[in-house]
Structure 1
Amino acid sequence: MANKSFGPLAGIRVLELGTLIAGPFCSRMLAEFGAEVIKVEAPDGGDPLRQWRVLKDGTSLWWSVQARNKKSICLNLKTPEGREVARDLALQADVIIENYRPGVLEKWQLGYEELSTVNPALIMVRLSGYGQTGPMRDLPGFGAIGESMGGLRYVSGHPDRPPVRVGISIGDSVAALHGVIGAMMALRHRDVTGGRWNGKTGSECIAGRGQMVDVALYESVFNLMESLVPEFDYAGVIRERTGGALPGIVPSNTYTTSDQENIVIAGNGDAIFHRLMLAIGRDDLAHDSGLVRNDGRVPRTAEIDQAIQDWCATQTIDTALARLRVADVPVGKIYSVKDMMQDPQFQARGMFEQHQFGDGQSVKLPAISPKLSETPGETQWLGPKLGEHTEEILKSLGYDAEKIAQLRGCEAI
């Protein structure tokens, strides 16, 4: 297992107190770019994501990605001894990422106010369903609830059917990305206001101020909702479900080719619309003065979409893609994962990494994004075994063999 310092976050220590998706995805991205991420897991099975979806030898393939480059320590936070170890780790951390329900860390004496009193440079990223304040803060909130409350589910699907979900845990992942952004901004603020706190000696190194980053799942989704609020406030418009179309921006929709493939065509730029109409043989629409701008096209959305669909019905997916690309019209096939794995663009960009499990069997993982020219991310190892780094981490805290044995004896690790 590699353990060399690398990436733009080399030297940053992150303590992950969380399970499943939002918190762990947040810390995963920091680990991919060089932060030392210490993941605390309960001894009785660890993160439940270890058993989610497709398994290999009892462990999720998802785990290989979600926990890559992380170190796993088993701590029973229900015991005073386990919480004391967590506190020691927190006082050496630059960033804590947690997604417990609000109030849980405070109950364990691991809340931000208490820890930051001792480690003023500490940054704590808190991900929860509804945030750390407000009348709903104590309610359980998963990504699906955040997607619903934040507005995404309401606009997803066809107008004559109930709302649908995106086929991944998008609410959790969007919240995680907000957590990463918040952590980076907080680290930047800390850098310009001073240095770091030395948790081992308790001494100040011109310490910059840390802060708490409060990420609510529903607010992260809400942050993506474009012009939803001003359109309602100013014009009383409630955006509704529109199937595969992008409402108010014409044409941008999904169409079906003669070989029953689905193709997305985005001809909503004024010049692009003109080229698109010429490419599909609708010169009349290309030269229609009423369709020159988007605001003129919106009232005639159904007519334009029908013209494009009629043309697509005469083309295979390959001929449609080729003709529209020649016309410089944004167009794309809707990819399955099989399409991605075979696509030359994915391959040219190195979007898959080949790795090996401990038994020698190989597996492909998604490569790391974004791509930095000077300090790119790197997969050093796959998701660790439960508690794989427990002893290593305890020794780094200065615990001797007797102390570690004592922790084992009281079932704290």
Structure 2
Amino acid sequence: MYDLLKGLRVVEGSAFVAGPTCGLYLAQLGAEVIRFDNIGGGPDFRRWPLTPGGDSLYWEGLNKAKKSIAIDLGRPEGRELAQRLAAAPGEQGGVFVTNFPVEGFLSYEKLSALRPDLICARVMGWADGRPAVDYTVNSAVGVPLMNGHPDDPRPVNNVLPAWDLLTGAYAAFALVAAISARQRDGQGREIRIPLSDVAASTMANLGYLAESLGGQDRPRIGNDLFGAFGRDFVLKGGRRIMLVAITARQWRTLLQVLEIEAEVGAVEAELGVDFAGHEGLRFDHRARLLPLFETAFAAKTLEDLLPSFEREGVCWGPYQHMSAAAEDPRLVKGNPMFSDILHPSGATYPAPGFAGTIPQQARGPARPAARLGQHTDEVLSEVLGLSSGEIAQLHDKGVVAGPGGR
């Protein structure tokens, strides 16, 4: 946790991954992020994975360090409260993150009527407003048909919701840019960020789109690294690692470590090529190279290789389950990004703060998600300026609720 955005107030009305991720990143940089949900929780409040007690690890993971207000959004009074909250006054307020539809009670037209300089990042599925989620967009841009092994025609979906995560980060960046512009010109803005546009632009930026326009879609290549040398290998004893050699130095070092310089040199002489100077040649001729590497790796254990891997800076990584990653000091255990904290579910486990590091500034500990409705009265009082009597009436009418739905 850092305080680069200290003083900024962001209101979040969203569900699932992209919108909450945007709010999470802003909160981890010090913004006050106030999330409103339906009383009893929104559509993602019980989403898997769950604790043994039925609490969503997903929800409390994506909503760390945020404040929570519970509102009955099915009632006109509740919708009006959400509108007022999004457009609440204050020089550092008027910033809203949502994935609610373009039209409706949280439309930019309605919100900007309450606050003309409102900044809104609206996460969408398709740019025309049709619904989509990460997995349906991913199938449409063709990634699942590139994944998998050549001998299996079935599409392979990604476990990681990459477009959701990229869209959330893109929305956070766009909001900060719009805030900077508002400081110059005083203007509000709605920024619509469809998952489909993030996916399509990313595929184009990486050259995948232009490649396909040549009339040839990329074939499945299993775990081979396209256009370079990289693949999974099985070591003596059965351990599997992922290894990559892109630069000339990485390539030469790998040959030295495995002691196969002579064998690879013989292939180069036969084919009339220089593998060190042209990474693409390593990919083109991988059918000749891979058996040499497979044999060399199969003769060595990871313990045999580790000293030279570390000494020479070989680019590799182990295949391991998430439970093993949790014990890996490079990833979780011992990583200063993580803090062991008590979560709303009652479980204590490591939670990450901001994924970047600022060496010149002390890192604060990660903060847990709030209990649903934990800050209802505080937000109504401090942000909307309601009196204790007005807040009590809203509770009595069931328009708002505190922790536990009260």
For Structure 1 versus Structure 2, the TM-score category normalised by the shorter chain is 0.7 to 0.9
Alignment check: 8 A CA contact 2:353 2:366 kept: no
Q: Contact 2:84–2:114 (CA<8 Å) still a contact in 1?
A: no
Q: Distance in 2 between matches of 1:350 and 1:286?
A: 45
Q: CA deviation at 1:23?
A: 0.9
Q: Take 2:374 and 2:65, find their aligned partners in 1: how far apart are those partners?
A: 12
Q: CA deviation at 1:45?
A: 3.2
1:304 equivalent to 2:289? Answer: yes
| 1:38 maps onto 2:16 in alignment | no
CA distance, structure 2, for counterparts of residue 121 and residue 305 of structure 1: 60
Alpha-carbon distance, 1:348 to partner: 5.2
Q: Which residue of 2 aligns with 1:354?
A: 340
**Counterpart position of 1:295:** 280
Shift of 1:359: 9.3
Partners of 1:351 and 1:381 lie apart in 2 by 12
Match of 2:120 in 1: 124
Question: Matched residues in 2 for 1:151 and 1:222: separation?
Answer: 10
Which runs of structure 2 are paired with 1:290-369 in the superposition (5 Å)?
290=273, 291=275, 292-346=277-331, 347=333, 349-357=335-343, 362-369=348-355
Change (3 A) 1:339 1:361: closer
**Contact map agreement 2:344 2:370 (CA 8 A) in 1:** no
Q: Which residue of 2 aligns with 1:229?
A: 209
Match of 2:160 in 1: 168
User: Which amino acid in the other structure matches residue 229 of structure 1?
Assistant: L
Structure 1 residue 238 corresponds to structure 2 residue 217: yes
Q: How many residues align?
A: 384
Q: Deviations over 1:302-325 (max 9, x none)?
A: 212222112111121232343333
CA RMSD between the two structures = 2.5
Quick one: distance in 1 between partners of 2:222 and 2:151? 9
Partner SS, residue 60 of structure 2: helix
Contact kept, 8 Å, 2:2 with 2:354, in 1: the verdict is no
2-side partners of 1:223 and 1:330: how far apart? 29
Please state how far the C-alpha of 1:380 moved relative to its aligned partner: 5.7
Call closer, same or farther: CA 1:256–1:90 in 2, change over 3 Å: same
2:147–2:220 Cα contact (<8 Å) kept: yes
Q: Percent identity, aligned pairs only?
A: 26
Whole-angstrom distance in 1 between the partners of 2:313 and 2:347 = 43
Output the CA distance in 1 between the equivalents of 2:340 and 2:315.
31
Q: In 1, Cα distance between the equivalents of 2:20 and 2:361?
A: 22
**Residues 41 and 376 of structure 1: CA distance in aligned 2, closer, same or farther (over 3 Å):** farther
Counterparts of 2:363 and 2:193, CA distance in 1: 24
Task: Measure, in 2, the Cα distance between the counterparts of 1:42 and 1:319.
Answer: 57
Using the alignment, how far apart are the partners of 1:16 and 1:189 within structure 2?
A: 21
- Per-residue CA shift, 1:97-140, capped at 9, x if unaligned? 1112x34xx322x2113322442322111112113x3xxx22x2
Contact 2:236–2:301 under 8 Å retained in 1: yes
- Give CA deviations for 1:224-256 in whole Å, capped at 9, x if unaligned: 3311112223x333122211112122x111111
1:66 matched residue in structure 2: 62
Q: State which of 132, 137, 140 in structure 2 corresponds to 1:149.
A: 140
Gaps of 5+ in 1: 195-207
- Counterpart in 1 of 2:94? 94
TM-score between the two structures when normalised by the length of structure 2:
0.86
Unmatched segments (≥5 aa) in structure 2: 401-406
Q: Secondary structure at 1:342's aligned position in 2?
A: coil
**1:404 aligned onto 2:391:** yes
Q: Among 178, 181, 188, which residue is 2:173 paired with?
A: 181
> What residue is the counterpart of 1:387 in the other structure?
373
1:253 aligns with 2:231: yes
